[in-house]
Chain A
Amino acid sequence: MLHRREFLKLLGVSSLFSLEEKALSFNLPSKAIPVLLYHEIVYRPLNDYTVTPHQFLAQIELIKTLGFNTIFPHEAEKSILNGERAVIITFDDGSYTFLEYAYPILKEYRIKVIMNIIGSKVSKNLQMITWDEYREILDDEILEIGCHSYDLHFLGWSKRVTLREFKEDLLKFKELVWRTLKKEVSIFSSPFGEPLTEGHIEILKDLGFHYFFLSENFDENIAYYLPFSNKNIIPRININHRVGLKNFKKLILSPYM
């Protein structure tokens, strides 16, 4: 089992900065890209996985007005070589609040976004986006679907589930998304950000997954995506309502300063 710290070592990234509202300092390798992780956009109740609607809109305006391009992981290397300011925006879970608050502005600005969905929850729980709605918005060509497992969204899944069950879950997911959306999925976002073993990664690669998303809590050290050092493993920064706009700005600008 590769623990979080080991992953960070693997990525060549270590202690960066905390996103609490205090002065920031960092020592960032060049050629890094910030990858943002969102879950829900709500006014209340607020928790570690929520941002408020006006915060989210303000963050998107910052991204836009600071001249950022939003990209998908496969565009990362090219973007760095072009010297662009780039950011990858991702959502986990598929909360309906994405459609209510995020999608209108993302669509207007043609901002690329990855939504990692839990296959078994779609169209079953209406707090989530439904297949009908995914079909509607996929036509806009700014959204890429990622896998957040078919049905492994529970704490400790990485220890409790066998590799065989893991593989079956992924196959079920891929088959479902192909059947309902006619999309091949190449992104895997680990449920609850749990670390992956080499066995997990091998299965993922076998099944055609190219990018593996992890998640870093905002109050821990920040890791950026380093496509030239490690193309497949992508650490993400969990954005929640405690991340003030000034720190958010520093967070996305850090690799470019």
Chain B
Amino acid sequence: MKKLNNYFDLARLAINNGDYQEAINIYNLILSKDKKNLEGWIGLSKAFYKAGNLSASLWASYRALELSPDNGEIKEHIRVLEESLAILRKDSLGHMSKFIIKGSYIYQESKGKLQKFIVKGINIGLGLPGFFPGEYPIQKTTYLKFFQLIEDLGLNTIRIYTLHPPAFYEALYEFNKEKIRLYLIQGIWYDPPHNFNLEDPHFKLSLKKHVHNIIDAIHGNITLPERPGFPAGEYLRDISGCLLAYLFGREPEPCLVKNYNSFSKNPFKNYSGKYLFVEEGSPFEIWNAMILDEIITYSKDKYNQIPLVSVVNWPPLDPIEHYSETTIAQEAYFLFGEKVETKECIDNDDEVIFNPSQIKSYVNNLFISYHVYPYYPDFMNYSFLEESRPYYKYLEKLKACHFDIPLLIAEFGIPTSRISAHWQLQGWSHGGIDQVQQGYILKEMIEDITKAGCAGYLIFSLFDEWYKSTWFLGDFYKPRDRKPLWFNLQDPEENYGLIEIYPGYPKKIISLSGNLEEWNQAEILYFKEKITQKDFLRSLKACHDEGFLYLRIETFEKINFEKINLIIGIDTGNEEYGEFSFLFDIPLESPIGLKYLIHLAGKERSKIYVHGAYNKFLKSHFISPEKEIYPSKTNEGNWNPIIIKTNRRRVSKDFKKIYSPKFYYASNLKFGSLDKKNKYFNSLADFYFKDTSIELRLPWELLNFSDPSTQRILWLTTGTESIISNGLKVIILAYKPHEKYSPTCKEVIDFLPNPLVKEKIKTYIIEPWDYPIYHMEPKLSFYILKDFLRGQLDAP
């Protein structure tokens, strides 16, 4: 456990480095351990001040003053802050941009001339470690850092999904004050009401108010009170001069559209608004037109600005017929003879259409926006099986549906997670992609988007967000509300960013590069002197952070996997449960129940196995009635690989074509280093070895931790979801593989602990945490993309 002094050193370092966001976090951690720490409160106040958050700095100063009422320095700081806050004035950007729509592109009016404006942008989320987005944690200086990076990348636009706190607009104002360097697409998010009733009077009223608030905030003309889940404070900066557009909505669930279209009381088939109109539109299309009209009307009436507007759409609702996309009910009946009997609506990916082209503008200010990923829905593959560029082919079709109006690809991306959640024909899958691959794939996607005649693109996304979860992993985060406190490299949804947000400050605690110093703070689990010629294993060290368990094995001789293989047995808690036999014909039994087995046999042949009864993916996402997931007591070598089913079996609409299910094999351990200067750099590296040292990096979730921040491991039985681990135990075996039947064991030569008895096995305890430590660093994809966008990229 780190001492408080270490954290103070870290916080000071963060301040000196200009990493005020991180400093705030570290001070919060210090204060969580000692609420009455004066130095902590003073430090927090300073960090907030440096981060540009004067009101939070003032609050922290008052807390410090409570602890030291006569402290002159604190009083002086409070005085300065109060003065500074009192003199904050409204201000606006001195320049006003004007955009219009012409044909398939957006044009910018400049000095009486129209210039084509290709949107080159990126989406900015809200979820920093330790927070859900509704807590709005990002500080002004962090926004400024982000903006600088985005500009460096060669982009011209940022998109946010919802109203951010005033710090965002302050930062954008400051960034664009001299000249406009980044344009803003301001999102207007809504959560549909219960039962998807968009006609609910309370919902309609609050949505209208929400729209007005956002427009007022853009014009620096509103003070919002504290409300849970919403940003609050004084919006003093009018940044409407760099507003590119308002982008309304989110990816509408097919059921939302279907229900509204079926039950809407809206009698109109046509809509004729002040600025927009719809002819022969569906109720949902008209509902969206009305909201967009409200945005334009309010903006024009109050601020004399007719903004560009658009609404979010996505492929499940596109106007294209997809042969391969049967409904779930039809498919279940056809494939398995099962009748899906539920009153609940089921989201199908090609059943309902929302065609935004039905909405037309009298004033040329409307464009179309789609979020388009290459691996979802399944038709992104199955409609294009013969194509070498399936993503491009889809975009080409989509553009043909919206041929006379700009089409913005408002989200696209590919995550750098360890595992994949969806298969893609050409390898652009939903994860299992390293940072270098991410860079080149994003480049190719941009080329496809451009070639398809789109008006621009917004990359998803700027930074990794720990609170997110992918469809097949969310069920294993127990408790779910602590997920923002730990990082899962396995989860695709967490790893879309061009900036990685990674445990450790100011850098990774372990970089898998053979750097001994990194292991100074690690716990020594076993250590022995060389006594006999046979002794091979010297020591085992362990340490961890918010994302991983790290192990370092040291040997007496240089590692040569042709001659000696290693087996690491891991017990994540409750040693009486688990598997007691090894694989590889090892003639020994484990003294403790093992949940995982790692086989180290070289760069290309190393793997991790899970106890068959603890194989959560097999029991949860394949066809399985088994509900219990816990490591039962076995002694037979019941070891499974980790395989993820990414795509279920599908059938075409005419039931003539069947598409086989798809899978991702996640047991392979990747050799590599996390040090970008190392020639074996690989952002997905699981282990590294050099000379007499082997280092491993194991994501918590790979080891079935459901919440490492409270030491919880998955233990799904009747009445139990997870249990608190009584600590990790690790044992190691070294063996000579058989010359003929490798990797089977010819002879066990050494083990740790030695003797391999229960009493000698050490327990590694994970201290719980409530404030995660992290740092931010551009991924390699950032630099690849930067070179591409600036025209300096060599062929990969």
Closest B residue to A60 using CB positions: B641
Contacts A54-B638, A57-B612, A62-B637; A133 near B741 (Cβ below 8 A): no
- Which one, A61, A66, A104, A246, contacts B639 given CB within 8 A? A61
Bound CA span A20–B306, Å:
81
Main SS class of interface, B:
loop
CB distance from A33 to the nearest CB of B (A): 15
Bound CA span A53–B337, Å:
22
Are B636 and A244 in contact (CB-based, < 8 A)? yes
Closest B residue to A68 using CB positions: B741
The answer to whether the Cβ of B472 comes within 8 Å of any Cβ in the partner chain is no
Are A136 and B660 in contact (CB-based, < 8 A)? yes
Mask for B506-523, Cβ within 8 A of A = 1, else 0? 000000000000000000
CB distance from B610 to the nearest CB of A (A): 10
Contacts A58-B637, A85-B741; A104 near B583 (Cβ below 8 A): no
The answer to whether the Cβ of B451 comes within 8 Å of any Cβ in the partner chain is no
The answer to whether the Cβ of B227 comes within 8 Å of any Cβ in the partner chain is no
Number of A positions contacting B (CB below 8 A): 35
The answer to whether the Cβ of B768 comes within 8 Å of any Cβ in the partner chain is no
Residues of A within 8 Å of B303, CB to CB, are none
The answer to whether the Cβ of B282 comes within 8 Å of any Cβ in the partner chain is no
- Which one, A44, A55, A61, A85, contacts B625 given CB within 8 A? A44
Bound CA span A68–B744, Å:
9
**B: contact size bracket:** 35 or more
Are B637 and A67 in contact (CB-based, < 8 A)? no
Bound CA span A100–B337, Å:
17
CB distance from B639 to the nearest CB of A (A): 5
Are B640 and A54 in contact (CB-based, < 8 A)? yes
Residues of B within 8 Å of A96, CB to CB, are 649
CB distance from A24 to the nearest CB of B (A): 14
- Which one, A43, A97, A104, A246, contacts B643 given CB within 8 A? A104
Are B744 and A132 in contact (CB-based, < 8 A)? no
The answer to whether the Cβ of B742 comes within 8 Å of any Cβ in the partner chain is yes
Main SS class of interface, A:
helix
The answer to whether the Cβ of B584 comes within 8 Å of any Cβ in the partner chain is yes
Are B638 and A67 in contact (CB-based, < 8 A)? no
Which of chain B's residues 562-616 have a Cβ closer than 8 Å to chain A?
583-585, 599, 609, 612-613, 615
Mask for B96-136, Cβ within 8 A of A = 1, else 0? 00000000000000000000000000000000000000000
Are B643 and A137 in contact (CB-based, < 8 A)? no
Are B744 and A133 in contact (CB-based, < 8 A)? no
Contacts A58-B638, A132-B659; A65 near B738 (Cβ below 8 A): no
Residues of B within 8 Å of A133, CB to CB, are 658, 660
Are B741 and A99 in contact (CB-based, < 8 A)? no
Residues of B within 8 Å of A8, CB to CB, are none
Are B335 and A126 in contact (CB-based, < 8 A)? yes
- Which one, A55, A65, A68, contacts B583 given CB within 8 A? A65
Are B585 and A66 in contact (CB-based, < 8 A)? yes
Bound CA span A245–B626, Å:
20
The answer to whether the Cβ of A186 comes within 8 Å of any Cβ in the partner chain is no
Bound CA span A43–B665, Å:
21
Bound CA span A53–B658, Å:
23
Residues of B within 8 Å of A108, CB to CB, are 641, 643, 665
Contacts A58-B637, A245-B637; A65 near B743 (Cβ below 8 A): yes
Residues of B within 8 Å of A132, CB to CB, are 657-660
Mask for A84-114, Cβ within 8 A of B = 1, else 0? 1100000000001101110011001000000
Residues of B within 8 Å of A123, CB to CB, are 658
Bound CA span A85–B741, Å:
7
The answer to whether the Cβ of B718 comes within 8 Å of any Cβ in the partner chain is no
Which of chain B's residues 614-650 have a Cβ closer than 8 Å to chain A?
615, 618, 622-626, 636-641, 643, 645, 649
The answer to whether the Cβ of B561 comes within 8 Å of any Cβ in the partner chain is no
CB distance from B716 to the nearest CB of A (A): 15
Residues of A within 8 Å of B584, CB to CB, are 65-66
Are A61 and B583 in contact (CB-based, < 8 A)? yes
CB distance from B414 to the nearest CB of A (A): 22
Bound CA span A104–B617, Å:
13
7 shortest interchain CB distances as A-B pairs: A67-B741, A54-B612, A104-B663, A245-B636, A133-B660, A57-B640, A65-B583
Chain B residues within CB distance 8 Å of chain A:
334-337, 583-585, 599, 609, 612-613, 615, 618, 622-626, 636-641, 643, 645, 649, 657-661, 663, 665, 738, 740-744
17 contacts between A and B (CB under 8 A): A43-B626, A58-B638, A58-B639, A65-B744, A67-B738, A67-B743, A68-B741, A100-B623, A100-B649, A104-B643, A104-B665, A123-B658, A132-B657, A133-B658, A136-B660, A137-B660, A245-B636
18 other A-B residue contacts (CB within 8 Å) besides A66-B744, A84-B740, A100-B649: A54-B612, A54-B613, A54-B615, A54-B618, A55-B638, A57-B612, A57-B641, A61-B640, A65-B583, A67-B740, A67-B744, A100-B645, A108-B641, A126-B658, A132-B657, A132-B659, A132-B660, A133-B660
Chain A residues within CB distance 8 Å of chain B:
43-44, 53-55, 57-58, 61-62, 65-68, 83-85, 96-97, 99-101, 104-105, 108, 123, 126, 130, 132-133, 136-137, 244-246, 249
